[in-house]
Structure 1
Amino acid sequence: MRDRLGGRECLYVPSCRFGLYLALRHWCRPGGRVLMSPVNDDVILFVVLAAGLRPVQAPLDPRDGSIDTAAVPDSVWQDLSAVLTTNLYGNPDPAPELRAHCDRSGIPLIEDAAHAIGSSVGGRPVGTYGEASVFSLSKHTAAKAGGFLALADPALRGELAAARDALLHPTRATAELAHLTRPYAEAALRGLRLTQAARATVRLLGLEEREEIRMPLRADELTRALPAAPALDPFHSWVRVDMHDYRLRPGPGRLRRIARRLARLDGVLDAHRDGTARLLASEYGTPGSPPAQPLFRVPLLVEDRGTAVAALARHRITTGYVYDPPLDRYAGEAFTDPSPAPEPAAWFARHALPVDPRRADQVLAVLRAARIRPAHLSPAPEGAR
């Protein structure tokens, strides 16, 4: 990965969310304000809060969910402590423009590249513009664990490694065994067509952490946790959702699996790029899209996402990584500054259907057979471009 990122020093972390917390704690003083995308995993909102920072939601381009730098008022830029990109689904945020703004303001740029391990912007890889960037190894590589923090200043590696080690939980044999056997158990459930039954059992036992797209906010508990920030432990029940091992020191078996998966990355990126190109060229793609990136998921724009999700599910195609409603509507002003122009983000969040580009042909066949209509931007949908 050092070679892919132009020589940047890379530090292993057990998860992208952990790496982001590490970066925010290093570069941002508690009480600062961080510009971020409102169409994002809710876990990241809680990571920012755990770091003792105030999230500030950015306006977005409704065509692809990237940060719309031109729509950020000067008054917002002047009051920021950092900018955190999202690179949603692998679509790059405008890092050159964000870098320029950060340089003028004297604040750090931190790149969340969880979905963008093969994406580029401005002729450079995503992850080479910020003081730090954080990548996930559980997305494109499907290693189900791991990530890395890439550093512009290699001299910081020792300091950040020590901070990482102080926060890690010790390796647990039971967690390592569960990680190594999980792919075989999931394959068996799929082969026996028991996936839906297994999910129903989890719900019946009360073990499901998300009954809806967003996890329960639990506002009263969150209010009580805020004075303890910066610290991970008071926010653990939010930050761990969907990945309980997010701060676990990896065992040798886990690291070997990650290394094997990472060695196949080029082939995976080729498959994602090919599928992305087919999806974006369809009636559900964004008109005038640039050359295809190897997106982790392709956000097709559809009028009725619920009907589309149901149609895909009937063909055993699962839809995930939906981030709706936007974080400012989800969390409210008690926990985040709202976007100064919220409607473009709301429109994108409502119509985006994230699909795996490796299943492009199947997805398109299902959507067309179900007569799913594409969503089209009007010239100005309540403020959107």
Structure 2
Amino acid sequence: MASGEAGLDPARPDARPERLEEIMRGRLGRECVYVPSCRLGLFLALRHWCPSGGRVLMSPVNDDVIFFVVLAAGLRPVQAPLNPRDASIDVDAVPDEVWGSLSAVLTTNLYGNPDPAPRLRARCDALGIPLLEDAAHAIGSTVGGRPVGAWGDASVFSLSKHVGARTGGFLAVADPDLRAALRQTRDALLTPHRTTAELAYALRPHAEAAVRGLRLRRPARAALRLLGLAEREEIRMPLRPGALARAAAAAPDLTAYDPWVRVDLHDYRRRPGRLRLARVARGLVRLDDVLAACRAGTELLLSTPWAAPGPAEPRPLFRVPLFVADRDAAVRALARRGITVGYLYDPPLDDYAGADFTDPSPAPEAARWFARHALPVDPLRAREAVGALRASGARPAPAPADRARPGAAPGGLDPSRG
């Protein structure tokens, strides 16, 4: 739906949560509940649809925050085998005994590349379990002729990604009669609005712009570490297994897992104020233009020798995974052009957390290969990124050993895998 069709005035968009829900309902065709963050929306969905102690199939190439949300909901994460091309769930590689043990399936739609939702929907229907979609990266993607997020019993969206609001999200539901109950549960989990937090939120983009303009990234990171505000020294946050095991005694309980769930977004439960809602509304006004630019950048990146083949019509990916032999060198090459690489999920969650906290994937090598070689590039900086990688001499990643065969695509990926 175009911004004009949504009825938004670009100069003074209506920022009431009810209006934002209406706009998303128009895009998705489902009732929506506004939430302060995607992670809170996911917690609501897991608690509503899954019994305590249930087992949830999920991708091991995913943000560790999502892993901790599953634990906070009192559930056991079960790591799925993946397609190495796009880190989607490999339905055929999940053993029958695993399918039979599940309480739900949670998709990831990593970087906007969809999981095979039609097949997962059919499998979940046959098993009588819910399909839940994490569509944080996929607000503009489609699969099987429907928007991502329109296949599951519930789906969650982030407004920090394509919308760029750094706050907010939606929980969308197939059954409209659940909307009132989910709103009530949401309200019980919210923490109070704080004026100081709202002002800090409003000032953050200006501070970050000043840091970029003055080339102060390194001093800024050092200052954050000195103040104890930098929560990730590596790609994955510290697991703290002893404290994590103690938190399990309280599950399901979001507060017990707050030290892990809040990382990178301490206001994930904060009741939104006018400034946050206004930025969300302005971002929704621009969303279709952003999606068009992402689609064009995705098309360019998929034409490079580091890319797996994409669909006939490129999706507006949030990040485009390129596959390089030496990712650290590629990250440095992009950094020299002022392009920061984020959204790396290495190592996979089963290697990161271990069998004490998750069931490992029965076929982990594809996830390990993807996590080691994927270079997620912002399609809005596609031309600069391609120039930097060409100048650096970046080589395509070698094929994963268990997938390599004649006819593989550039970078060693199999074009027949969908």
The answer on 1:173 being equivalent to 2:195 is: yes
CA offsets 1:340-366 (integer angstroms, 9 cap, x no match) = 110001000100000100111100100
* Counterparts in 2 of 1:290 and 1:76: CA distance versus 1, 3 Å: farther
The answer on 1:78 being equivalent to 2:100 is: yes
**Secondary structure class of the residue paired with 1:83:** strand
**Secondary structure class of the residue paired with 1:34:** strand
Which residue is equivalent to 1:61? 83
Instruction: Tell me how far apart the structure 2 counterparts of residues 291 and 78 of structure 1 sit (CA, whole Å).
Output: 36
Structure 1 residue 375, shift from structure 2 partner: 1.1
CA offsets 1:27-51 (integer angstroms, 9 cap, x no match) = 0010000000000000011000000
1:248-263 to 2 correspondences below 5 Å: 248-263=270-285
Instruction: Tell me how far apart the structure 2 counterparts of residues 208 and 378 of structure 1 sit (CA, whole Å).
Output: 34
User: Structure 1 regions of 5+ residues with no counterpart?
Assistant: none
Which residue is equivalent to 1:2? 25
**Secondary structure class of the residue paired with 1:325:** coil
Structure 1 residue 196, shift from structure 2 partner: 2.1
**Secondary structure class of the residue paired with 2:163:** coil
Instruction: Tell me how far apart the structure 2 counterparts of residues 182 and 334 of structure 1 sit (CA, whole Å).
Output: 38
Instruction: Tell me how far apart the structure 1 counterparts of residues 207 and 356 of structure 2 sit (CA, whole Å).
Output: 41
What is the letter of the counterpart of residue 265 of structure 1? L
Contact 1:343 / 1:382 at 8 angstroms: preserved in 2? Answer: no
Which residue is equivalent to 1:225? 247
Which residue is equivalent to 1:287? 309
1:273-352 to 2 correspondences below 5 Å: 273-287=295-309, 289-352=311-374
CA offsets 1:160-200 (integer angstroms, 9 cap, x no match) = 00000000001011110001111111111111111221112
1:90-129 to 2 correspondences below 5 Å: 90-129=112-151
* Counterparts in 2 of 1:315 and 1:288: CA distance versus 1, 3 Å: closer
Instruction: Tell me how far apart the structure 2 counterparts of residues 24 and 200 of structure 1 sit (CA, whole Å).
Output: 37
Instruction: Tell me how far apart the structure 2 counterparts of residues 216 and 167 of structure 1 sit (CA, whole Å).
Output: 25
Contact 2:59 / 2:79 at 8 angstroms: preserved in 1? Answer: yes
Contact 2:366 / 2:400 at 8 angstroms: preserved in 1? Answer: no
Structure 1 residue 229, shift from structure 2 partner: 0.3
Instruction: Tell me how far apart the structure 1 counterparts of residues 311 and 330 of structure 2 sit (CA, whole Å).
Output: 22
**Secondary structure class of the residue paired with 1:80:** coil
CA offsets 1:59-87 (integer angstroms, 9 cap, x no match) = 00001111110111111100000000000
Identity of aligned residues (%): 69
Structure 1 residue 4, shift from structure 2 partner: 1.2
User: Structure 2 regions of 5+ residues with no counterpart?
Assistant: 1-23, 406-412
Contact 2:111 / 2:138 at 8 angstroms: preserved in 1? Answer: yes
CA offsets 1:188-213 (integer angstroms, 9 cap, x no match) = 11111112211121123332100000
Contact 1:280 / 1:289 at 8 angstroms: preserved in 2? Answer: no
The answer on 1:360 being equivalent to 2:382 is: yes
1:369-384 to 2 correspondences below 5 Å: 369-378=391-400, 380=402
Instruction: Tell me how far apart the structure 2 counterparts of residues 5 and 360 of structure 1 sit (CA, whole Å).
Output: 28
The answer on 1:141 being equivalent to 2:131 is: no
The answer on 1:267 being equivalent to 2:289 is: yes
TM-score between both structures, scaled by the size of structure 2: 0.90
Instruction: Tell me how far apart the structure 2 counterparts of residues 26 and 159 of structure 1 sit (CA, whole Å).
Output: 10
Instruction: Tell me how far apart the structure 2 counterparts of residues 378 and 340 of structure 1 sit (CA, whole Å).
Output: 16
Equivalent of 2:71, from 25, 32, 49? 49
Equivalent of 1:35, from 54, 57, 63? 57
- The CA RMSD measured in Å over matched residues stands at 1.4
Instruction: Tell me how far apart the structure 1 counterparts of residues 229 and 37 of structure 2 sit (CA, whole Å).
Output: 22
